């Protein structure tokens, strides 16, 4: 299960981070993501409507790989799984969330940014981790330096990724995919500006295609 989801994320290369409060906008949002070329989303559990929006995207758009983000507790992970989340993302390494996901064969990508946190995640048997907050921590140079002692571990950097720096991250063999909100900011979703979202998504896909192999 985890490997199949990971393979899809590696092929998609970009994971739009979605902050949505009005579940009625979920259908149009999912359509914009698909038409832009990214049939995937991490719906952040930061709004009251997030879980309902995830449920609708998952039910109405089975072609879209939908996961839940900002998951801080095992209770939220359970709510997200029941709503149809295919994977879980957390800002930090929350052991109960990881335990819940592993018990339910649900891929989980906890956030890390130090060697100690990477080591703790490896002890849990995890090999793909969110690197957060990527840019404030020092970006790709920091990521590669901190990852160097850790063999095959891969990352999903998030936090400050945008159209301008996307290709450099994707050029690293350490990067499985990049996450971020720049393609579908909360304000655009709330305003119903789905044409703009579709355009930004397709521009991100275009830029990901410009990636050259890095270190």
Strand ranges of the sheet holding 128-131, from the earlier edge strand across to the other edge: 154-157, 128-131, 108-112, 88-90, 65-69, 40-44, 14-18, 178-180
Among 60, 117, 130, 200, the one annotated catalytic: 130
CB of 160 to ligand 3PG, least distance (A): 5
130 as an active site residue: the answer is: yes
Residues 6+ apart with CB under 8 A from 198: 32, 33, 35, 36
Q: Give the footprint of ligand 3PG on residues 113-172 (CB under 6 A).
A: 132, 158-161
Does position 110 interact with ligand 3PG (CB under 6 A)? The reply is: no
Interacting residue with ligand 3PG among 180, 188, 200, 208 (CB under 6 A): 180
Helix pair angle (26-36, 50-60), 10° resolution: 60
Binding mask 17-36 for ligand 3PG (x = CB under 6 A): x-------------------
CB of 155 to ligand 3PG, least distance (A): 12
CB of 41 to ligand 3PG, least distance (A): 13
Q: Which is nearer to ligand 3PG, 98 or 161 (CB)?
A: 161
Q: Which residues is 43 bridged to in the sheet?
A: 18, 68
Stretch in the footprint of ligand 3PG (CB under 6 A) among 33-41, 48-56, 179-187, 199-207 = 179-187
How far apart are the C-alpha atoms of 12 and 6, rounded to whole Å?
10
Can you give the binding site for ligand 3PG, defined by CB under 6 A?
17, 91, 132, 158-161, 179-182
Catalytic (active-site) positions: 42, 130
């Amino acid at each position: 299960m985890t490997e199949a989801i990971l393979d899809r994320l590696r092929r998609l290369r970009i994971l739009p981070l979605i902050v949505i409060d009005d579940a009625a906008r979920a259908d149009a949002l999912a359509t914009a993501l698909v038409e832009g070329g990214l049939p995937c989303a991490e719906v952040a559990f930061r709004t009251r409507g997030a879980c309902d929006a995830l449920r609708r995207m998952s039910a109405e758009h089975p072609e879209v790989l939908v996961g839940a983000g900002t998951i801080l507790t095992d209770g939220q992970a359970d709510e997200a799984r029941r709503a149809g989340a295919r994977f879980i993302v957390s800002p930090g390494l929350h052991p109960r969330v990881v335990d819940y996901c592993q018990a339910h064969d649900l891929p989980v990508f906890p956030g890390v940014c130090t060697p100690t946190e990477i080591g703790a995640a490896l002890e849990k048997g995890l090999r793909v981790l969110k690197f957060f907050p990527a840019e404030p921590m020092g970006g790709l140079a920091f990521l590669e330096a901190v990852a160097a002692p850790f063999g095959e571990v891969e990352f999903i950097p998030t936090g400050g990724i945008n159209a301008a720096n996307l290709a450099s991250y994707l050029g690293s063999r350490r990067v499985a995919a990049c996450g971020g909100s720049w393609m579908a900011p909360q304000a655009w979703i709330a305003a119903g500006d789905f044409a703009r979202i579709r355009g930004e998504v397709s521009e991100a896909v275009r830029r990901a295609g410009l990636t050259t192999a890095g270190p």
